[in-house]
Every structure is written in C-alpha cells, then in structure tokens.
Structure 1
Amino acid sequence: MLTIDNASLSIQGIPILRDVSLAIETGTTVGLIGRNGAGKTTMMRAVMGALPLDKGTIQFEHQALHKTPPHHRAELGIGYLPEDRRLVPHFSVEDNILVSLWATGNADRARLKWVYDLMPEIGRFADRRAMTLSGGQQKLVALARALVAGSNLLLLDEPFEGVAPALAQRLMEVISDLRREHLSVLISESDYTHSEKVVDKVYAIERGQISLMPRADAA
C-alpha cells in the first residue's frame, strides 16, 4: 500500500529525516512512536506532499507519490488528521468534513453517511460551528474529515494528544473499528499508551531515523 524507501528531508538546511524506510501493507495498522521533535509530523507531511524529499522515494499503490501534486491525495483515497486539527473555525462541522469532497468534485455523500454511522455523535452536532466545539470534539471532526477522504489510507498524527481520557477512548474505539473496513492506517504517538492493542507493527523514530520495534507479543 505505502512504501517509504531511504527518504531524507531537510528544512532550511537542517536534516529532519535521515534515510528512513517504512512499509504499510494493505489493511494493516502501523504505529510510529517517537518523542516530540523526533520527525513524526515531518514524515506525515512528506507523505501528504507538503514537504519535498531531498532524496528517496514514497510509493503508494505502485505510484510515485513523492512526484504527485499534494492536491491529488484526496483523489487517491488518502486522508490526513494533522496534529493541530486544522479545522475552519467558522465552517459548520459538516462543511469541515466535506472539504475533501469539494476539492475532488465528488458529490457522493455516501461516504459522509458512513462516517455518521461510524460516529453518531458527529451527526448530532453537524450544524454547529467548529469553533464552538471542545478540543476533543474537534479531534473527532478532524478524524471524520480524514475518513471521508481516506478510503484507502489514513495518516493520523498524534490523534490522542491533548484529548480528555473519555474522548481518547472513543477515538481509539473508532480507529479499532476501522480494522474491519480493511483500511490501511498509520498512527503517530509519543508512546504506546493508546494504540498498542490495535497496531500490527510499530516503528520507532528518533532524531529522524527509523527502526522496526519488536512486538511484546511476538515471543
């Protein structure tokens, strides 16, 4: 599904990613664990085309994603939940969710209905402005927006950070339910607190370098 091979990336001349390689098979959930500043968000943004590679490749379904314009990600079925949510404050919840469909010219609302069925609480405040929601509720809306676009691959950058325990648990339930949908998912976290039970494999990132972590249940 997604393969990153020997990718390096610098920002203003400062190396951030150093020869990183990572693979996500179709229908699997992969964790990316690292401290703040380790390079997790940079990797997500590189996959989304927001940051160009210095070298290496990013392949998605045998397509050179690193050469594909950023706005084509939604057309490819790639959804992204950024760490800071990036909602439009004055838009309604539903309008925020539908942004990716507007971008692709897709008028089919079946995916929106699926998201509402998956997260009924979103439908209950669909008409409210995003700015009136709590931080945890905004995370749910950002996840819903990612799900509308991400019919093939989801990139979830620190989805549990800054969220109350009850809402973090709800987010984890939704992400766990996605395994039945055969979606491929990459989740970044600073530690293993929430995602350990749902990931199929885990990569650790430290100072821009990645290693595959052994699973505790692999003995």
Structure 2
Amino acid sequence: MLTVESVHVSIGTVQVLRSLRLAVPAQSMVGLIGRNGAGKTTLLRTVMGHLTPSQGRITFEGQDLASVPRHARAAMGIGYMPEDRGLVPELSVEENILVPLWATGARNQRERLEFIYGVLPELAQMRERRALLLSGGQQKLVALARALGVGTRLLLLDEPFEGVAPALSMRLGEVIAGLRGGSLSVLIAQSDLNHSRKLVDGEVVIERGANVVAEAAA
C-alpha cells in the first residue's frame, strides 16, 4: 500500500529524515513511534506532498508519489489528520468535513457524509456548529472525519490522542478500532503506543529522523 524507501528530507538547512524506511501493508494499521521532534510529522507531510525528499522514494499502491502533484494525493484516497487539526474556525462542522471533497471535486459527497455520520453519529448532531465553538477533543473528531471523507484507501493520523480528555481519547480509539477489517490502511504517528497498542499490527520506531533497529536477542 504505502512504501517509504530510504527517504531523506531537509527543512531549510536541517536534515530531518535520514534514510527512513517504512511499509504500511494493505488493510493494516501501523504505528510510527517517536519522541517529539523525531520526524513523524515531517514524514506524513512528505507523503502528502508538502515536503519533497532529496533522496529516496515513496510509493502508494505501486505509484511513485514524486510524479503526483500535492493537490492530487487526496484524490488518490489518502486522508490526512494533522496534529493541530487544521480546521477552518468560521466554517461549520459539516463544511470542514466537506472541504477536501470540494477541493478534489468528489461526486460522492453525500455518500461520504452518510458514511462519516454512521461512524461518528455525534458529529451529525453538531453538523451546523462552527468549529471555533468546539472543544479540542471535538475538533479532533472533526479532523478525523475530514480525513475519512477522502481517505478511502489510506489514513495518516498525526498524534490523534494528543491533548484530548480521557473520554474523547477513548472515543477516538473506538472509532479507529472500528476501521479495522475494512479496505483502509492506517498509519498512526504517536509519541508512544499507550493509546493504540491493541490497534496496530506493527510499529516503526523513529529517532532523529532514522529508523531505530531493535537489537537481536543474545
């Protein structure tokens, strides 16, 4: 599904990713684990085309993403939930969910909304509420819903549980767990696996932009 091969990425003069390797098989959930500043967000932004590798290759379903414009990646079925949520404060919950569908010109907008409200019925009840009136946890739910709107093949979730009250954190975990067994693949970037150890099929540990290789047992 998603393959990252020896990717190097720099931001300005700082090299953030160093020969990073990662694979997310079809219909699986993988945890990308690393401390703050390890390079997790940089990798997700690179997959989405916001940053460009200086070396290495990223492929999605066999296609080299270097040839895919940034604006076209959501249309490929890749949904991205950034750590800072990235909602438009003055837009309603439903309008925020629809933004990437509008941008990609999707014709199945009503169908995707029905799917999202089936997964997250609490959002249907607040669909007309402006994003600026939501709590931080509620905004996380909307950000996840927005990613699900276009993320029909792959979801990239950046710290989905960070800064969320326990009850909403549990709810997010339930929603993500409910995606298992479907057609989606999911990459979850986290500082630790406390919230998702039971969710993921495998994990990749990153430190200072590079893979951490587990030591062999003696």
User: Given the superposition, is the C-alpha separation of residues 212 and 141 from structure 1 closer, same or farther in structure 2, using an over 3 Å criterion?
Assistant: farther
CA contact (8 A) 1:33 1:191 kept: yes
Instruction: List 4+ stretches of structure 1 deviating above 6 A.
Output: none
SS of residue paired to 1:97: helix
Aligned to 2:195: 194
SS across alignment from 2:53: coil
Q: How does 1:1-219 map to 2 (within 5 A)?
A: 1-108=1-108, 109-211=110-212
One-letter amino acid of the structure 1 residue matched with residue 131 of structure 2: A
Indicate if the aligned counterparts of 1:203 and 1:212 stay in contact, CA closer than 8 A.
Answer: no
Separation (CA, whole Å) in 2 of partners of 1:52 and 1:14: 14
| Aligned mates of 2:197, 2:213 — CA distance in 1 | 14
CA offsets, 1:101-144, max 9 Å, x none? 10111132101100100110010100000000000000000000
Number of matched pairs: 214
RMSD: 1.1
Distance in 1 separating the partners of 2:212 and 2:149: 31
Q: Give ranges in structure 2 of 5+ residues lacking alignment.
A: none
For residues 114 and 212 of structure 1, the distance between their equivalents in structure 2, rounded to whole angstroms, comes to 39
Q: Which runs of 5+ in 1 are unaligned?
A: 215-219
SS in structure 2 opposite 1:44? Answer: helix
- Asked if the contact 1:33/1:189 (under 8 Å) is kept, the reply is yes
**Can you list the C-alpha shifts for 1:25-70, whole angstroms capped at 9, x where unaligned?**
0000000011000000000000000001011000001111133111
Task: Give, in whole Å, the separation in 2 of the partners of 1:84 and 1:67.
Answer: 28
Percent of residue pairs bearing the same amino acid type: 57
Residues 204 and 124 (structure 1), Cα distance of their counterparts in 2 relative to 1, 3 Å cut: same
- TM-superposed CA distance for 1:211, in Å, is 3.5
TM-score (norm 2): 0.96
